[in-house]
Structure 1
Amino acid sequence: MRVLVTAASKHGATVQIAGAIADELRLRGHEAVHLPLGEARVEEFDAVVVGSAVYIGHWLKEATQFVRQNQVALRARRVWLFSSGPVGNLPRPDEPAVDVEKVERMTAAAGHVVFSGRLDHDQLTFGEKAILSALRAPEGDFRDWAAIRSWAGSVADDLTSAAITAR
């Protein structure tokens, strides 16, 4: 199966997660292509993984716009969603972003997962630093690469099952 893996990322951490997902899908025998949202053409793929960084409980605007603009094509394919952003203990990694439920409905997604993110104060704007200071959000890289690869493996297994069933 040919799989598009794309994500919206403000500081690059979520795009790195998308890259790891694409790598795992390739290891599992799928033709996974990792592209920026602006270069992604959904119609060229059999399945799609879409992710977004989450800020103040919401997916990034460019991710929700991508889903809205490609809603018809996405609904005609297997779609998985991932969110990235929670750090430390705020909020719990299994708490989805406010708008994910809407994105799930627009895409008829097969699944959604939340991965912890990375917080590097040096990359933040003054406003972001102020918000995170008030929340006492810890700095660091909280991404769980084993969990990311495991989830990508379950996506690969689902794609393999779908391909066998389609024959």
Structure 2
Amino acid sequence: MKILVSAASRHGSTAEIATGIAEAIRAGLTGDAVVEVLPAVAVSDPASYDAFVLGSAVYLGRWLEDARRLADRIVVQQPRPVWLFSSGPVGDPAKPDEEPAEIGELVTSTHALDHRLFAGRLVRHHLSFGEKAMVMALRVPDGDFRDWDAIAAWGTAIATALNPAGIPANRGRPDRR
């Protein structure tokens, strides 16, 4: 089994979440499964994977274009298990706490088994001038708000689902009764 964990990340925080998820999946899998971590833009052949975990940083309430493009490429593949994640809310409590605008459509089109929204990290000196102006206007706090225990637990749950006895009989297409 070959599993792809991929993300679109503007400043690296979401890519680090993808790596954390992949590590938890690797630790929880049995057998000879391979877990690859690639940026969404670098995925050349989605057909070569048996399962996907795809995520994106969220900016202005939307996924980044590279992740949306990869999701579109996954949709046209044979049905495979898919999990989606988003990152971006910051602060305590994390704001904004809404799902990204297109996530319902992405969950439906990819037949995702789950979507998780993880808090992100904001390091002001990594931002562009426009991004700095926006976070200042919105009074967004700096800091790392990622919950690594929740990220690892979700990766472990994915590994459990992918283990030979746990692979969904419908190969990733949830029962939509």
TM-score norm. by structure 2 comes to: 0.86
CA distance in 2, matches of 1:141, 1:37: 23
1:114 aligned to which of 110, 113, 117:
117
Aligned to 2:173: none
**Residue 164 of structure 1: how far off its partner (Å):** 8.5
Q: Which contiguous aligned blocks of 4+ residues in structure 1 show a shift greater than 6 angstroms?
A: none
Structure 1: 5+ residue runs without aligned partners? none
Q: 1:104 to 1:130 in 2, by over 3 A?
A: same
Describe the SS at the equivalent of 2:133. helix
1:137 aligns with 2:103: no
Aligned to 1:38: 41
**Residue 144 of structure 1: how far off its partner (Å):** 0.6
CA distance in 2, matches of 1:97, 1:26: 28
Aligned to 1:90: 95
Residue type of the alignment partner of 2:27: L
CA contact (8 A) 1:25 1:31 kept: no
| Higher fraction of helix | 1
Residue type of the alignment partner of 1:8: A
CA contact (8 A) 1:2 1:45 kept: yes
Within a 5 Å distance, the mapping from 1:27-106 to structure 2 comes to 27-29=27-29, 30-40=33-43, 41-73=45-77, 76-88=79-91, 89-92=94-97, 95-106=98-109
Name which of structure 1's ranges 132-141 and 60-69 shifts more when overlaid on structure 2: 60-69
Over the residues paired in the alignment, what is the CA RMSD in angstroms? 1.6
Aligned to 2:129: 126
Describe the SS at the equivalent of 2:141. coil
CA contact (8 A) 2:8 2:41 kept: no
Give identity over the alignment, percent.
Answer: 43
TM-score norm. by structure 1 comes to: 0.91
How far does the alpha carbon of each residue in 1:4-24 deviate from its partner, in whole angstroms, 9 at most, with x for none?
000000001000110111111
Structure 2: 5+ residue runs without aligned partners? 171-177
Aligned to 2:175: none
